[in-house]
Structure 1
Amino acid sequence: MPTFMFGLPLHPLVVHAVVVLVPAAVIGAALVAVRPRLRGRWGWPVVVIAVLATLAVPVATSTGEGLEHNLPRTAAIETHAELGDQLLILIAPMLVCVAALVVIDRLRRRAVGLATSSARHAGPGTMAAPRIRDGQARVALIVLAALTVVFATVSAVQVVRIGDSGARAAWGSVQYVPQPRPAGRSRD
């Protein structure tokens, strides 16, 4: 992965994909996990966003490592790099959990729909009416939903920690201080 393009470091540009996609995936995954009604319509779009977020992480770390080798070694940069390397370990399980949640939910809904349809055609109380056994699927959905929320929360916290350490590495002790507006200038 190139480190510079047109004389500019790629890492600050590429990292914006992580900064946008990971929180979007985290929010979507948490909503799909805790609101089963959202899974049917929004489950697969959330999975796609989570895939894109997961793929953006190694690209950001790769460009960051290239930039790291072109900068003087500091404790702040090392901390930022260590935190950045940990994000993939957190977001990949979230992706797996939310994808499994959506797949199992889809299969369960399909099975319940087919069983209900067969039962209607066979008539109530007949031997041909299948029993709907989805207890295992429900347990799996609950476990996957809980794991999705846990990994989403941890991923969100990690993105904030990475961003904070990156800002500290780039800006050091520089702090933003609002400047007074000149008299006669509007706020536009």
Structure 2
Amino acid sequence: MLNVFTISGLPAHPLLVHAVVVLLPLAAVGTLAVAARPVWRRNLGIPVFLIALVGLIAVPLTTATGDQLKTALGGGGPLVEVHEQRAEHLLPYAVVFVALLLATLLLGRRADRTTGVGEVRTASWVATSAAVLAALAGLVVTGLVIWIGDAGATAVWQGVVTDE
């Protein structure tokens, strides 16, 4: 048996990959909704944040188990190297995404509590700006997930599946 972390006898990496591939883009879509309407931020903000947080936590776990799997299989070829190099970029962007989402929720709550006319306008503008930045960061993270996943899928399936 391979000397890697397993879940029910299967290497953990291909299983954990799905947490990243599903949760981060799902959180990005949720962030677009949160940015679009303050009422959606109030209703969906915390669940979207929790989804993003779990996706973020899955990133280092996925890269660590990927390293274990690569070592257990005796290293990888050039396609695995491309996948690994791309994957190194995701964590910092995911951290920024989750931080901006949290800022959006906190600033939005502050905007909801403000009462003075000038204060409301400023607080609303700051919360909206944070929401737009969080939504953009979510789109960047989604693009990175697709870019990394494409390299991983190519490394695994090239030569196995043909276009015939």
Long gaps (5+) in structure 2:
none
1:92 alignment counterpart = 95
Amino acid at match of 1:11: H
Aligned length: 160
CA contact (8 A) 1:29 1:148 kept: yes
Is residue 148 of structure 2 the alignment partner of residue 162 of structure 1? yes
How far apart are residue 156 of structure 1 and its match? 0.7
Is residue 120 of structure 2 the alignment partner of residue 134 of structure 1? yes
Amino acid at match of 1:63: T
2:110 alignment counterpart = 107
Q: Distance in 2 between matches of 1:141 and 1:176?
A: 49
The equivalences for 1:143-182 within 5 A come to 143-176=129-162
Which is higher, the Rg of structure 1 or of structure 2?
A: 1
Give the TM-score taking structure 2 as reference length: 0.87
1:3 alignment counterpart = 4
Which 4+ stretches in 1 moved above 4 angstroms? none
CA contact (8 A) 1:21 1:53 kept: yes
- Aligned-pair identity (%): 34
How far apart are residue 141 of structure 1 and its match? 1.7
Give the TM-score taking structure 1 as reference length: 0.77
Root mean square deviation, CA, Å? 2.0
How far apart are residue 152 of structure 1 and its match? 0.8
Q: Distance in 1 between matches of 2:71 and 2:21?
A: 23
1:24 to 23, 26, 30: 26
How far apart are residue 76 of structure 1 and its match? 0.8
